[in-house]
Structure formats: structure tokens, C-alpha cells
Structure 1
């Protein structure tokens, strides 16, 4: 989501939303105190991982930024994944400049970490998803080195009715790799990958697994309404659970972001919500949104990831306050086969 327009909007957003102010650490959810990442407040689109005794949070911006913690409370800033943008990105997106990568997805396979990331021309479906690998997440290790693997998927305005952003890798019960991604336009897409986890498998197999009605007075070059993005597939028991974010992000207290869910016994869907409505046809049960009532601390929540550490399921996401986006981490309970934020 970069380009001239995005840079202008991002600067304006930074001035009004990301201004560093003392954090209100009085809001407690589950057994974790939120608002702990305060020295660099703009945590956006977080994904969590654990290696050894250390938790890591990777998130949007600055070449993919990184925090590390031993307890999920006290966080230390680590070097970004990229200090220089891979040359192929500017070749695919000629107007791209800087280190505006976002929405990282991180998981461990085949003896190494796979990091998917995206960038785009803001408000357009001119987007790319790339991949980088590393043997370790510990910058102090002699094996630490991010190796860019190039482009995985590109979407092109006028050619595609989908948008190649917000990637998430999912492995099905047969060991087959799938990449779920997308936002707005025709919704969230799922495509089968080769065992290298870097290329699309042939014959190509694509699925639309979530979508919302859109006002098609907008052209295919504009995001329009019917916001849906940030897919994440999590396997639990007999079901694959599809998390997605609805409505508007990135607008501070005016954000309306909320996390929705459906489930399926097949990774390709259909993903049905609690009322049996297919997410590909506008379905999606609410998991978590902004605070309700007059005394709000968080105005919206979204772009989540879900991980299991030491037998416990956690959900990480960003939340909009009156000052900036914060990292929140919740423990999940499961009630009647559906995730519930532990309070």
C-alpha cells in the first residue's frame, strides 16, 4: 500500500494517530496488560512467533519491524527484516519507493522461517506478495540472515478482480500448502502452492473463500467499500477457522475495524459463520471489535493472527486508541467449537 498518495496519507496519519504519548496501561484483558509496546507505538498488522524462550512480533512498516520479549509484556526493538528494498519490487511496481512493506506472515517449515510480505500502490489492486527466509529469528545467531526469495503473486489493475496483499500461509491435513490473501475487490483468495512454498502450483487452483457486497460504481482500480481483508487460517480440531477483518482501518478513533470468523472442515471452504452463512456470500460472525458504550479505550480492533505457544492459543492484533495503534495479545478459549477472547 505504498506510492505517492499513500506516503502523503501515511504522514498525515502519523501526525494525528501515531503521535507518541504516555500509554494508559490500566486496561487489562485476559492475563496480559495491553499497551506495553509504547516506545514505538505504531504496531500495525502483527504476527507472532516463538523460538526458544523468546516471543517475536513482526509488523508493518520500516522494512518489516520486529519486537522481541521473554514474557509478552516487556518488549525490545530488533533490526528490521529489510534495510534495503529488494530490487525486484521496484521492477514490478515502478512507483514504489522506500521500505513500505506490510502485513507480514511468519511460520516455520522445512528447517527455516518463511516470511511473506506485501506492498501495493495505495487504494489500487496493483500489488505484490514476496517471500524471505531465515534459519533463525535471533539476530545474535551466526545463522541469522534474511534471504529474499522474490515475488510469489502479483495483482494487476484491469486484469485481476483481487488484490495481492495480506498474505497468510496455511498447510492442510495432507501437507499441501495454500496461500490465503486479499482485501476489498472480489474478496479473499486462496491459491495452492508448490512444496517450495514460493511458487503457485500447476494446474493452478484458486478459491474465493470470503467476500462482501460492494458498490460497483467504483472502478476496478479503486478499493471501494465492502471492506474485508487480513485473512488468517487456523486449524483447531476438525475445523479450519478463517479469521478476517471487516470495515475501515487506519483512521484512528474513526476506525471501525472488527474481526470476523467462519469455519470449514475443508481448507478450501465453504467457511460458514455461526448462523450457517457462507463467508464467500457476506457471512462472518463477530469475534472482537471496538469497545462499546460511552467510555471507550479502544475504538476498533483488527488484522489478527493466531498462534499456539506451549499448548495455549493466543490472538495478536492491533487496536486503535485516542493516540495510536497498540499491540494487543489475548488468550483464546473455545466454546461450542468457536473462539472466545478470554477475559
Structure 2
């Protein structure tokens, strides 16, 4: 959910209230419709941990964590709910729960965090963090609860027992049983992902009704690094999205979304470099991180697909100029944002890698060329090919064939919500291709051509509403059946066509009636094929660099010199100090030199043997962009409890005191290469520093951007501090600058 952070160089305070600047190609959808983040501005100043679903009525519903919605409101809502016709303009429609509504096992005053809403069978289920239960006097003995409802707007009724009960922690207190996310697999099994920094992210199988954990959970993402999970299935892979770093450090919040993938919903999940997410040196490929614009702390995501087939990520972020609700150091103000989720080389990335958007962008496609919600009884836009069809209660029921008078040419996506209320087979026809549910299989059949099919899970009741979506790009057809179009397909079938698709959309039902709703067909989205470029590394600026070949270059200057730091045999050797720079202590040594003007990249290679698994808080070494002791960006490989991470920490003065947060940039090896790419924003004059790390000096992971005011002159330096026990020495091979 992201209110808490046990790890990190600066521990967060427990409490309820708590890059690149290149533009990505605007490829999502077509037409004049546009949006601008935050999309929650119409109804809320803050709307954290958002998820979005499409309801049976064809409208979109968003749910957020229990906070006040507006400045000055003071009173927290009980899972606030909003509705939209276009995913851009939203209206608050009430809270999921009344002020006195709670499950019998929840303590009075318990809050509800991080809702996840799914269709299970013939109803909707909301999974939610319950922050305080009656199993102990501990005020944070968290659990996962569930509530059911007939529609996305309720009424919601809590289940009698928690889905996942409070779990005592081996180190005291209770493991953080928060941030639920449900997933239904192609075999029909339901899973729940949950957990956070204290205890890690686990997955457990659920009962068929989705209300009880069964079996033994297993760890899929290590503790002290990840929370806020979301799993979806794409091209046969299971992708675990998880947020990392501190959600709620105000203007220093570096929250971001990373991902790993697996061939199983139980993992193991690995990142693009093959590193597991549940190891001490945990992997994680960045999906969404701050890029130097208005938005920081971009995390805790949901997922949706628009009518054109384009995927989108919904998440919260913090405006770095307005980080708190009402007053400094109160509730972190985290409005809801949405951006395009692209798939490039098998990996998801936001806006082709450009990150969160600030300006006007093409909006999601929510109105199709053929867009039938059956709100009236007339079928003027359709012609029958036999059988009987009628509209009742906002849906279409019939047998035979019903063909739209609207044609959609070229690459196309068509979909419908479907119930086999008596039919033996039902589905969609696009030109010469039928895609039907028949014989408990999903079947795609081209007239005069090939047939492909896949079995549906045995427990699927086809009288319940499911979404059938068909995409044709060129001569490749992909069809899927899912509970509610949230990336958890029950069946996926592909078919290579012999002819391009041409012709109108036809609804088909044989052997009895079938019910259709939310029928649409429109041009298929145009995918992004290439990611935005990583920071360019040009020629070496030898006059600014130091290889440590002949003592320490005279250009270096110390802040609090450490006499034990020595240069010999082509390396700077620096025993890690028992000191730090965060907060008001400011006792650590910093070795600095001036930086070139304009754009440049600074790089160092640092060896630091921190071992694995053991707690060595918070030994670290690496590079720093430094203005003074209360304004710096520090890129280090660091021990954070049992994990080893590359942390891009940031401190700045705010409201009379220093504030520290961090962003995570890749996974360290014993020897790690680090880069800071400096860019001056031509509009504001701000200094932007994007961080990168590498385990081999060749393949780089680029992370977030921290900024410095235009009237500052950051220097670049080295640091080795955070703890002197056990003794360990950092070894720097060089500090280089590149144009």
C-alpha cells in the first residue's frame, strides 16, 4: 500500500495519514480526445493506491486508499469510489463502506488501505488491507479482508473471516499483511498476492469463491524492498509489478514500480537480467520512475486495457511542489495518474520508457466506432440473420446471428461481455473468422481455413459474465476470455489467418440464448516499437577525471576529511565510516570535485563486499551530487537490512528541516558501476541528475531523476559511510566524466 517503509537509509514514520526528459511517441488511440495528469483532479487532491475496473454498465470505476480527498477535509473516506465514462473525467460516487462498517474481526478505528476489486463468479470482490484487528493489542496487526457486492458500487458486505489473518513476525510485532492483489490463472485457480517490506510479498492460492486462503503461501519478492504488487499475464508470461522505496517522504519520495516475470504465478520471478526478485540481491526491471518533471514517487499501480487494446497503468504520484495535504509533514498528497503501458522486447515500460506524463496526451480509447451498451430497446444499428433477439435490462439476449451495420476495417479489436444463459455456443464473427465459446473451449475458426482452440478451466460457469476480446493485426488473430479484462485471462487462443479480416461484426448464439453487453469494435492500437534512448555517454573528459594512478588529484576537496582514505595501486581505498549525511547529523566525510558545465555523465566503479542476507545497516559506498549537507543526491550500493540494493537517495531542506527519501536503481554486485547523467532543463534551469547502475560496466539499468534548483552549483564526489561494523573497505577505481 505504501504508507510505511521499514528499510531504507532513513526509516519512515509509521502512521495512517501518512530519466530522461525525452518525449515518448504518442501512439495510443486516435482522434481529438486528450488528457492531462492527475486524472483525479476533478474530485480529489489525493487518491492513493488506485485501481480501476470496467463495470457491467460499461463505465469505469476507481477505488483508493482511505484518506481525506480534499485539502482541509480532515476526515478520511472509507475506500472512496469514483466513476468515469472516459477514464479522464471522474466523479466521486461515495465510499465503499460507511463510517461504522467494519468486519467483526477488525478493531474499532481500523483503516482500509489499498483496495483491489475483481469479478469472481457472478459478483464483485474487494480485497482490502485492514490495518488493526482484534487478535492483539498491537495497533498494526494487519490482515487482508474481503467484501462482496453485486456491482462495482456496492453495497459491499464484509466476509466473516479475513482472507489472510495477521501473521506474527519472527522479529517482533506482526508481518505487514497489506496490499492485496488477486489473480485468476488459465487453470481457473485464484491467487492472492500480499505483503510489504516487513515480511516481503507472498502469494497464496484462494478458494473457488475467492474468500479464503488455502494451501501454503510462498515468497515471491524479498522483504525490505517491495510492496504494492499487481500480477498480470501477457504473451504466456506472468508479470509481477511491485513498488519499491518509500511511498511517503514528501518532497523526497522516490517510490517507483519495478517488474519481474515467470512462467508460473507462483514464481520465481526474474528481471530482464535474470535476477530473482526474492533474493538478497533482489532484481527488478524499472517500469515507472520519476523523470525530472512535476511528478515524483510514482508507484502502487493498477492496470487496465482500453477499447483499442492499448494497456494503461494507473498509479499515484506526488507533485514535488505540493507534497502534503493541508500542512507540511502531514498526509502525503498522492493524486491518481494514468499513462500508456507499452510492451517492448517482452518487458513493460511507461510511455516507451519516458516515464510519467505532465502535459497533454492522447487519451485512452473509451468510445469505439461500434459501441453498443444496449441502453435502449431498439436495434436500429443491427440486422438479423435469423433467430430472435431482444434488449432487456440493459443487455441483449437472443439466438442466431445479429450483424452490426457498422464496419471497422484494417487491424481491429472487438469485444463483448458474454453469458451463455442457455446456448451451447456463442461468440463473435469478424468477416470470415468466428471466435466462440463452445464445448467448454475457446475456439477460433476461419472459413475455409484453420481452427485453433483451447480448453476452459473446468470450474468456469459460462452463465456468469465474462469478457471475450478478439484482436486481429495483419493476419494474426489473438482471442481471450477473462473475468473482467484485467490481464487475468482464463483462455487465450491464437490463429494465423489466410486472408485479412474484412467485414462487419456479428454476434452469434447457437442451441439456446446467450446474453451480450458492452459490444465494441474499433481500430486496434498502434504499439510503440522502440524505447526512448538512454542517456548518451560521449567522449571522456580526461581533464575532469581521475584514474587514481598517481595519488589524489589536487582538484579534489574534502568535507570532513577521512585520513584513513588512501590512494595506491590505481585505486582509492576508503574504510566505510560509522557516520551518515541524512538528517541533522552530517558527520560523514565527502570527497568532492567540480563538475563540467552543461550536460555530462559522471561514472565510478566501486567494489564493496557487503555479503548477503545478513543485516549490515546501512553500510554503503558510491557517488554523490552535492550542494551541501542538506541538499544532495547519493547513488550507492547499500545494505538495507537483509537486502543489497542500489539506492539513489535524496535530501533537501523543506519547511525548516531536512527531508530524505530514496529511489532504487538496479541490483548491485560486489563490484558495481554507477553513473549520474546531468542535464540542465532549458525551461527552468534546474539541474537534473538521472541515475544508472551496472553489474558489468556494459549493461545498464537507468532509474529516477532528482533535481536541484537553478541557482545551485552541484559538485560530484564519492562517499563511503553508514556503519563501521563489521569493518569493510570501499575501493574506487576511478571517477570519470563524459560529455
Q: TM class by shorter-chain length?
A: 0.7 to 0.9
List aligned pairs for 1:55-204, cutoff 5 A: 55-61=60-66, 62-83=77-98, 84-90=100-106, 93=107, 96-97=108-109, 100-120=111-131, 126-138=141-153, 144-150=154-160, 151-158=162-169, 162-201=175-214, 204=215
Give 2:261's aligned residue.
Answer: 263
Change (3 A) 1:126 1:10: closer
Q: 1:287 to 1:236 in 2, by over 3 A?
A: same
Structure 2, unmatched stretches of 5+, are 4-11, 19-24, 29-33, 67-76, 323-332, 353-739
Q: Supply the distance in 1 between the matched residues of 2:286 and 2:103 (Cα, whole angstroms).
A: 40
Aligned equivalent of 1:223: none
The answer to which of 157-166 and 33-42 deviates more is 157-166
Contact 1:130 1:149 in 2 (8 A): yes
C-alpha distance in structure 2 between counterparts of 1:81 and 1:125, whole Å: 22
Residue 42 of structure 2 is aligned to residue 33 of structure 1: no
Measured in 2, the distance between the counterparts of 1:9 and 1:236 equals: 36
Distance, in Å, in 2 between the alignment partners of 1:161 and 1:145 is 31
Correspondent of 1:205 among 203, 212, 216: 216
Post-superposition offset of 1:89 = 3.8
SS of the residue corresponding to residue 278 of structure 2 reads helix
Q: Secondary structure at the match of 1:253?
A: helix
Q: Structure 1 length normalisation: TM-score?
A: 0.80
Structure 1 161/278 Cα, relative in aligned 2: closer, same or farther at 3 Å? Answer: farther
User: Does the 8 A contact of 1:125 with 1:162 survive in 2?
Assistant: no
Quick one: structure 1 residues 136 and 7, their matched pair in 2 at CA, closer, same or farther if it must change by over 3 Å? farther
State the secondary structure of the residue aligned to 1:299.
strand
In the aligned structure 1, how far is the partner of 2:82 from the partner of 2:174?
A: 35
Partner residue, 2:50:
46
Q: Specify the SS of the correspondent of 1:305.
A: strand
Match of 1:24 in 2: none
Kindly state the Cα deviation for residue 333 of structure 1 after the two structures are TM-superposed: 1.6
Structure 1 residues 35, 124: CA separation in 2 closer, same or farther (over 3 Å shift)?
A: same
1:328 aligned partner: 337
CA deviation map 1:215-271 (0-9, x unaligned): xxxxxxxxxxx3421011011111000000000012221211010000001111110
Q: Which moved more, 1:309-318 or 1:66-75?
A: 309-318
5+ residue gaps, structure 1, are: 14-27, 139-143, 213-225
CA RMSD of aligned residues (A): 2.7
Higher relative contact order (CA 8 A, sep 6+): 1
Query: 1:25-54 CA deviation, whole Å, 9 max, x = no partner?
Result: xxx987531123224211100001011331
* Distance (Å, rounded) in 2 between the aligned partners of 1:167 and 1:8: 19
Greater shift, 332-341 or 117-126, is seen at 117-126
SS of the residue corresponding to residue 196 of structure 2 reads: coil
Q: More helix by proportion, 1 or 2?
A: 1
1:340 to 332, 349, 352: 349
TM-score normalised over the length of structure 2:
0.38
Distance (Å, rounded) in 2 between the aligned partners of 1:193 and 1:164:
16
Equivalent pairs, count: 297
Q: 2:252 pairs with 248, 251, 254, which one?
A: 254
Higher strand share: 2
